Every structure is written in C-alpha cells, then in structure tokens.
Structure 1
Amino acid sequence: MESKEEDVRVGANKYSERQPIGTAAQSQDKDYKEPPPAPLFEPGELTSWSFYRAGIAEFVATFLFLYITILTVMGVSKSDSKCSTVGIQGIAWAFGGMIFALVYCTAGISGGHINPAVTFGLFLARKLSLTRAVFYIVMQCLGAICGAGVVKGFGETLYMTKGGGANTVAHGYTKGSGLGAEIIGTFVLVYTVFSATDAKRSARDSHVPILAPLPIGFAVFLVHLATIPITGTGINPARSLGAAIIYNKSHAWDDHWVFWVGPFIGAALAALYHQVVIRAIPFKSK
C-alpha cells in the first residue's frame, strides 16, 4: 500500500522542471520526452494506407456528425412549440454528445479532429504535417456536405423552409458580434483539445485520469448553449460549409465568411496560448 502511494506521488510529476507554487511537487526523475515537431511536408504519407484510412475516418465521422446534429435542428425547427421538442439544450447536447462519441471512436485512427479549426490549430502547433492537415480538411468538408445532403433528402420542403441548419448571424447582432462569438467559442474548444490530449500533462498528472473525448464534447455543448442565439454556433467550418452548400440560399452565404475566419482565428489563438504560455513553464531547475 505504501509503495502504491509513493507511485502516485512520483507519477504525478516526474519532470526536472520546477513548477510555480500551487502545483504538485516535482521529482528529479524525467519520464517524458518532447516528440519532434511534425515535418511541414511528408511525401511518404501519400503511399501509406494509414494516411488514407485516417482521412476516411474523418469523412465518416463528419458525415455522422452533420447527419445527427442537423436532424436534431430540423426536429426543433419544425415544431411550433419548442416545449414539445428537445429545444436549444437538446441541440447543444446533440452537438456535444456526437463530438464525444465520434472523438472516442476515431481518436486512435485519425486523432478525431472532425473540424478544420481543430486540424488548423494542431497544424500550427506542429502536431501534424501540412499534407495531412489539408487532406483532413478536404475530407471533413466532403463528409459535412454529404451528411447535410442526406438530411435534406429526408424532407426537402421542411429542410428548405426551416433554414437547413445553416449558420447565420442572428437579427439584432452585428457581424462583428458574430465573429467575436465564433473566435471565443472556437478558442474554448481548441484550448480544451490541447489540454485534454497533452501527453506532457498526462505524464505529469498521471494520478488524474482523463477521458479526452469527455471534456472536448462538454466544451462543444457549453459553447452551443452560449452562442446558438447569436450565430447558431459554427466553431466548425466544415459544419457551416456543408449546411450552406446544401441549403444554398443567399442569406446563408452573406455571413459565411464569419464561420471560417472566426474559427481559424480562435484556433490560432488557442494554439499560441497553449504552446507559449501553458507549455512553457517559466521556472526551471538547473
């Protein structure tokens, strides 16, 4: 029993770094080695089946994500009384719950991005190559288009009259407000992704088990609760693009830039914050 307690204390922090007061104590043992940054171009990936398998996983996951979430939105939109539907909370749970399930299913294959903003943030942090990042984004967008298309096929009239789940800036809000909501919402999501999947943190805090898909899905849920009334909540350019292409009405395209620029800025800020501030612990022992 005593040895197990010691293992917990040592396993919590085995770095030679000295952390600020308030964090767990450090030992001089070091069990973590920083992996090298991913190369910008990795031509060898193009001949690897695992590369294409990962892209297929991203396609299927984003397809299922759009299928379930847009169907949920349509179910709420078609009812005159929101009390008879799952309401905004149900929509938020559909988005967050699907991200939880799909990240859990695909994390070991592709990393479970399901979102070009997440892919972009991880690329900026040199967690994957440009080759893989571009391939993932293309497959995510194609999956989103197909997912929204299947929903439209279930009931075209309903789909076209109820907005098709397309993201737009709501009346009463400016485009600047919508852009800000998308930036902050995506920052929350991508920052959570970095924190939940940080191998250095896992090594340091091994006494605190974390199921990474859970906080990521919960972050998506909370962001949707906050921003559905503002933008319908994009924070995922593939989700916004898929719905906009299948719905294809002018007002859906008027604000569409917000749902690319906002998430990409938010992802870049989250990557910068995590890599420069969170990962760079300022106090180091000799």
Structure 2
Amino acid sequence: MPASMVNSAPVRAGGEEALRKYVAELVGTFVLVLGGVGAAVLAGERIGFLGVSLAFGLSLLAMVYTVGPISGCHVNPAVTLGLLLTGKMEGRHALGYVVAQCVGAIAAAGVVLLIARGAPGGYSAAAEGLASNGFGAASPEGYGAGAAFLTEVALTFLLVLTVLGATDARAPVGFAGLAIGLVLALIHLVGIPVTNTSVNPARSLGPAVFVGGAALSQLWLFIVAPLLGGATAAAVYRTVFRPVAPITATTAERATERERLERIEGQARADSPARA
C-alpha cells in the first residue's frame, strides 16, 4: 500500500469523526429550539411559562442521551466555551461546534415559523416575535438592558456550572442529562419574564434571523452575556472544584464501557437456550 494512502487514513478517520460531532450538535440544537421555541410559539397560551420551561428542559434532557455520546450535547456556544476553557473538549472542534449549533437553531426557528404560518389568520414573525429574546419593549415584562444582562450572565453561569459539575470525573455516571435538563427548566422559570430566556447565543440567533428589528439589534446582549456567564462558570469550576482528572463531556454522558459490556453479556445469556 502506498505510504500516502497509509498516512491519509488517520486524517480521513479524524475528519469523519469531526463531521459526526458537528452533525450531532446541529441535530441536538435543532431539537432544542424546535421543542422550546415551538412550544412557546405554538402552544404558549395553553401551557404558560411552566410548560415552555419544561419543553426546553425536556428537549435538552432527551438530546443529552441521544447525541451526548457522540458530541457531548453542548447545543450552546456558551457551554462549548465553558467546556473548552476547562479542558473538557478539543479546541480544534470548537468553531465547528458553534457553526453547527447556529445552523441548527436557524433551521429549527424556520420550521416553527412555517408551522405557525399555517394557523388560521397566518403568523407574522416581525409582529408576534417568534419567541425571540429581548429587553426593554421587547422584554415580556418590560425589563431594561441592565436587568436583562445580569439575568443572562447569572442564569448561564448556573447552566454551565451544572454541565461542568455533572460531567466531572467524580460525578455519578449516566445521570448528567437529568441534572442538565432540570436546571434548564428551572432557568427558564426564572428568566422568561425578563428576557424570554436565552442563556444560549444560538437559540437567540435562530428566531432573530426571521424577526429582524429589535431582535437583531439587541442580539449582542444575548451573545455577550451568555459567553461571559459561561466563562465565569469555567473559572469557578477550575478554582473551586479543582478537577482531579478532566474527562470530556462526551465520555461523562455515556455509560462506562464495562456497564455496556455487562448489559450485552446479560442479554446474550438471557437469549441463549437453557443448558441441561
């Protein structure tokens, strides 16, 4: 076999693995925005703040166990930043993750808008907001920019710190999704009246692309504040928790190899004919 073919094999394998991670992030973010923003736009009047909060939390919980073993299920540039700063992900994948997350969020917001337009009387994203994030007149309860910024920083800090702690080497294996999904639901219960809750630049970008106006002009806050919150969570984690052995979020969110083998062996014994 030519040397060039031998040398290119690891490169191709690495590229395929990276692509799998990016597609997983795109799909995970798509589901998060479809579930959360879709619930707010299509069913918000029926399910209220609590229902929308649960929709976001349950969407993330499902994706942690679905795409988490492939990419770690960041589905959020602020989470990617926090994991990058704590050594829980490879830096060469960070930009690809963020691009995939933004594409997934925009695609999901577009799908929600298409569905909403099928309602009697149609739907105008510019007039009705498409569950976009905002402050001042664009805030659900009229909160100003200062309150919105502080809310987004604090709530993103809580989200990213939970992700970092739940994926720590000392955390119980396989339970990260529960903690992360539940904390996202809690965060939305607090933040929806203030900003409609972002804590995720990709989630804010998706609807803003279709809404335009204030949603786009105020987008800077929903990029800067979550990233600041994520970086602060990373600093606190590295200082207070003092990770003994950093492991990737992907590793932490899947069962251990031994547990998988035990399940496979147990199933094989159950399926095999009883011996005389």
Give me the CA root mean square deviation: 1.9
SS in 2 for 1:223: helix
Matched AA of 1:185: L
Question: Which one of the candidate residues 82, 94, 101 is aligned to 1:140?
Answer: 101
Cα distance in structure 1, aligned partners of 2:229 and 2:70: 25
Partner of 2:199: 235
Cα distance in structure 2, aligned partners of 1:64 and 1:76: 16
Q: Which runs of 5+ in 2 are unaligned?
A: 1-9, 245-276
SS in 2 for 1:113: coil
Question: Which one of the candidate residues 134, 150, 160 is aligned to 1:190?
Answer: 160
* 2:42–2:116 Cα contact (<8 Å) kept: no
Partner of 1:168: 134
1:127 positional shift: 1.9
Superposition map of 1:39-78 within 5 A: 47-77=14-44
* 2:168–2:243 Cα contact (<8 Å) kept: no
- Superposition TM-score, scaled by structure 2 size: 0.77
Q: Which runs of 5+ in 1 are unaligned?
A: 1-42, 203-207, 282-286
Deviations 1:171-227 (A, max 9, x none): 53221110100000000000000110001x13xxxxx66611000001100010001
Aligned length: 226
SS in 1 for 2:69: coil
Question: Which one of the candidate residues 163, 177, 187 is aligned to 1:223?
Answer: 187
Aligned identity (percent) is 38
Superposition map of 1:148-159 within 5 A: 148-156=109-117, 157-159=122-124
Partner of 2:254: none
* 1:59–1:140 Cα contact (<8 Å) kept: yes
Cα distance in structure 2, aligned partners of 1:148 and 1:280: 37
1:46 positional shift: 8.5
Deviations 1:231-278 (A, max 9, x none): 000001100001100222x11123211111110000001000001111
**Stretch of structure 1 that moved more, 236-245 or 172-181:** 172-181
